[in-house]
Amino acid sequence: MSKERILITGGAGYLGNVMTRHFLDQGFQVGCLDNLLYRQDYSIFPLAANPDFEFIHGDVRDKALLERVIPRYDIIIPLAAIVGAPASKARPVDTETVNRDAIITLDQIRSANQRLLFPNTNSGYGTKSGQFECDENTPLEPISLYGTTKCEGEKTLRESSKGGVIFRLASVFGVSPRMRLDLSFHSMVVDALTKKAIVLSEGNFTRNYVYIGDVAQAFAFGIQNYDQMNGEAYNLGSDQANISKNDLAAKVAKHIPGTQLFQHEVERDEDKRNYLVSNDKLRKAGFEAKTSLETGIAEVTRGVSIMLKNNPHKNI
């Protein structure tokens, strides 16, 4: 039987690197379409040893390229994006054209029998209404350009007659060949290791987190159960990782002794994220993210420590 083919746009990114390896291990052929925005060729090039891996260097805004590439695949996972509120603020035009417009183009080109799984962020929950307990029926009210364009991407796909499975991701943690130290979980570990201090703004705000390996497994679950899940959006986070920034920082400090915690009196959380997210719908569908925060803190501490050893100026 021939292998199924998955196209992962943004496959050389933080999540993409882990997902690409996961699906190759599962016996899929994986095509990774990425413009290597962060010059992260080092992260993906060892995969050239695997004949089931193909790298397509290009831009998801290149319609002619999408028209050539997309028909060759059974499954599409569009990860390519300008990710996070600060990055989007710095690159507003790229954010609109990559996060929203390229998804509209992709939707026009794909066919109804190609399965599609899309990662949105859950960062739009409760931001304006102040609703604390959120499930998939809670309106998404994104504040940042990042959140707005990702939600526009989700809307395009949910209104499409071609279907798709949407995952609304919590904030991800865990190591990847393309490491993102800007993620809030990771920056706490970096600060604990380099400054022996974590400074929290609005530390009482509760967020939801999820381990990177659990995200890859959830997407694999979505492929296996596509017919049952098609057309729906699912929160993807860990229930035991609905936690305030203060409590997460305390766990990091427990793991890295000598770390002191401080509250920033002036700085405010740009995303206004303060919510308790229900992951019941995905659990009822049959998948649960189970990796603990403690496991993630230990893993990220080991990973960041290696990066620090290679950087005598600790300027990471």
Ligand X SMILES: NC(=O)c1ccc[n+]([C@@H]2O[C@H](COP(=O)([O-])OP(=O)(O)OC[C@H]3O[C@@H](n4cnc5c(N)ncnc54)[C@H](O)[C@@H]3O)[C@@H](O)[C@H]2O)c1
Half-sphere exposure of 279 (CA within 13 A, CB side): 24
The pair of three-digit structure tokens given for residue 248, joined into one six-digit string: 């997460």
Asked if 86 and 182 touch (Cβ cutoff 8 Å), the reply is yes
- Considering only 69, 134, 183, 188, the residue that binds ligand X (CB under 6 A) is 183
Q: Closest CB to ligand X among 37 and 199?
A: 37
- Tell me the window of 13-21, 109-117, 137-145, 198-206 that interacts with ligand X (CB under 6 A): 13-21
- Considering only 79, 106, 218, 277, the residue that binds ligand X (CB under 6 A) is 79
Q: Which residue number has the CB closest to ligand X?
A: 13
- Paired sense of beta strands 260-263 and 197-200, if any: parallel
* Burial per residue of 85-104, b for 16 or more beta-carbon CB atoms within 10 angstroms, e otherwise: bebbeeeeeebbbbbbbbbe
Q: Closest CB to ligand X among 197 and 232?
A: 232
DSSP strands (E only) in 70-156: 75-78, 115-121, 133-134
- Tell me the window of 22-30, 46-54, 73-81, 301-309 that interacts with ligand X (CB under 6 A): 73-81
Per CB under 6 A, does 171 bind ligand X? yes
Phi, psi of 279 (to 5 degrees): -110, 20
H/E element, 244: strand 242-244
Per CB under 6 A, does 279 bind ligand X? no
Q: Judged by CB under 6 A, how many residues of this single chain contact ligand X?
A: 29
String marking each residue 22-51 x if it binds ligand X according to CB under 6 A: ------------xxxxx-------------
Give the residues lining the site for ligand X (CB under 6 A): 9-10, 12-16, 34-38, 59-61, 79-81, 83, 98, 119, 121, 150, 169, 171-172, 178, 180, 183
